[in-house]
Structure 1
Amino acid sequence: MRLGIVGMLPGDLRSLTNAHLHKIRELGFTGAGFHLPGELLNEISDEAAARCRQMFADHEIDLAQFAITYGDCLFDPDPEARSAAVSKVVGGAALAARLGADCYLIRPGSHNPAGPWTPHRENHTPEAYTLLVRTLREIARRTAALNVITVVETHVVSILNTPSVCRRLITSVNHATIRLVMDYVNHFESIDQVYSDTERLNHIFETIGPLAPVCHVKDIAVGNRLVVHLDEAVPGHGELDLALALGLFHAHHPDGYALIEHLGPDLVPLAAVNVRTISNRAGIPIC
């Protein structure tokens, strides 16, 4: 397993400096990722992409994950809206290839106008699923020559709400370049599942582990507020058995990247130490 970080780099790669990458290496990470705002996609020149790629190489850091942000829904019933979304995603894949990214992260979107990671009952209809499969097949067809692995983000509030649905999607799309993100925290739906985390983690990894070549490392804290709040926590400071989660990921992808994410700069060093300590105690090598 390899260890990386998301959140320490600017979204606009043109603002990347040696200081950003030096700090990442100082903390012992060999990989990093960032999210480019989708509206900037057409502004990134070949020269800017080449500069970014060379800077990563100079610091011996892998671009473990590249993403673009967008509010589009990949299963929008409007064909024109879906076509625009596909064009944006394909453009991001082309940039991922120029940057030499290990994987390219995309999001499915939502029928909820409040944002791509908000719930809506229409996200879970057979029609929505069929449209998402059709869209991902089109993305796979148009990006096949780029040699880019596209990984789809999943979450309990999204159309990809359960491990079983996620696995069925990859089977339905049936293309080797379309895979998933192993964001295990996103598939805990209840307090009971958190307190029975061994069973839940085993189910998640058994169902989608082989299909998810990159892992997002987080923990869960059960909030004290009504009604039910499952909050992200610093790895090692929550309820989950991270030794089990990291061990299961390593078993499927021994060269894959486990990426710490969603933490401020003050908490990243603690998270890195915790993940290394947990891995060492469990006999999980970090290369």
Structure 2
Amino acid sequence: MRLGGPVFTDDLNPDTWTATLKEEGYRAAVFPVDHEASEEEINGYVNAAESNDILLAEVGAWSNPISPDKVIRKAAMDKCKRQLDLAERTGARVCVNIAGARGGQWDGPHEENFSEETFEMIVDSVREIIDAVNPKRTFYTLETLPWIFPDSADSYLELIRAIDRKAFAVHLDPVNMISSPRVYYRNGEFIKECFKKLGPYIKSCHAKDIRMSGDFMVHLDEVLPGTGTLNYKVLLTELNKLDHDIPVILEHLTTPEEYRQAASYVRGVAKELKIEL
């Protein structure tokens, strides 16, 4: 597998991008520009990645394709199609988005998020996005979340079967599915279950960590890898069993120093397991 993370530079171009990635020891990266970039700029990053053995892990399509606002929904669908096309043109491993949300907050909870109608809306939106592009090299994926489908291995499998498109695959983010003390304390078993059920479909993974407070009511926080309880030995072992060069991307940290600390921890666990990152 290949570890990746963001680039911090004031002068972003293909040369500084790849140089910084190599300085940080990353062998995978999120594609740094979107579909609005010029063809010359897009090709520059693709060529730079190929020349420096950097795997293009993902193209983000972050938006709300099931928004209750018709204007927002239409714009989101258009963005997803264009970003999926960009992923196909660049050869990125996946185009990733969330399923969306039924409320005003595009990435937030809502009482209708787990309804049968919402499930069907997600199925229809993903089918339309994939059918508009018909990708052959990349996959469209939904990031797992605790407040909308897919929120578990089983609900992801249900979506895979319902959507019924070869270009629909799995972007795994185990932290985003840990929403109870039961799963929190048994997350190693939970991770194994995810790989048992979703393994053939997993194309990319986000790396972060989670910590539960001692409050009376359940309170879970995303934290820097190595400072929480996510079972990285199990996660990396299971990822290493997959038969493709899967990207593992660090995210949601603030500074280069935090990312270096996170990368050091993940690499340390991998080294202990004799796994190459």
**TM-score normalised according to structure 2 size:** 0.89
Deviation of 1:59 (Å): 3.1
Structure 1 distance, partners of 2:201, 2:135, is 21
2:167 corresponds to which letter in structure 1? T
Structure 1 distance, partners of 2:107, 2:216, is 21
| More moved, 84-93 vs 162-171 | 84-93
2:95 corresponds to which letter in structure 1? Y
Match of 1:67 among 49, 60, 66: 60
Alignment of 1:102-117 (within 5 A): 102-114=93-105, 116-117=106-107
Question: What corresponds to 1:163 in structure 2?
Answer: 153
Deviation of 1:118 (Å): 0.8
Deviation of 1:253 (Å): 4.1
- With over 3 angstroms needed to count, the CA separation of the structure-2 counterparts of 1:17 and 1:173, relative to structure 1, is same
Q: Residue deviations 1:35-68, cap 9 Å, x none?
A: 75xxx74x32212211222232343322111113
Deviation of 1:155 (Å): 0.3
Question: What corresponds to 1:30 in structure 2?
Answer: 27
Question: What corresponds to 1:142 in structure 2?
Answer: 132
- With over 3 angstroms needed to count, the CA separation of the structure-2 counterparts of 1:35 and 1:173, relative to structure 1, is farther
Structure 1 distance, partners of 2:112, 2:50, is 44
1:8 aligns with 2:7: yes
- With over 3 angstroms needed to count, the CA separation of the structure-2 counterparts of 1:122 and 1:251, relative to structure 1, is same
1:20 corresponds to which letter in structure 2? W
Kept in 2, the 8 Å contact 1:183–1:215? The answer is yes
Question: What corresponds to 2:252 in structure 1?
Answer: 262
2:28 corresponds to which letter in structure 1? G
1:69 corresponds to which letter in structure 2? W
1:95 aligns with 2:95: no
Alignment of 1:1-287 (within 5 A): 1-5=1-5, 7-8=6-7, 15-34=12-31, 41=35, 43-70=36-63, 72=64, 74-76=65-67, 82-114=73-105, 116-145=106-135, 147-224=137-214, 227-263=217-253, 264-286=255-277
Q: How many pairs are equivalent?
A: 276
Name structure 2 gaps, 5 residues minimum: none
Deviation of 1:19 (Å): 2.7
Provide the alpha-carbon RMSD of the alignment.
2.5
Deviation of 1:119 (Å): 0.6
**TM-score normalised according to structure 1 size:** 0.86
Deviation of 1:147 (Å): 3.0
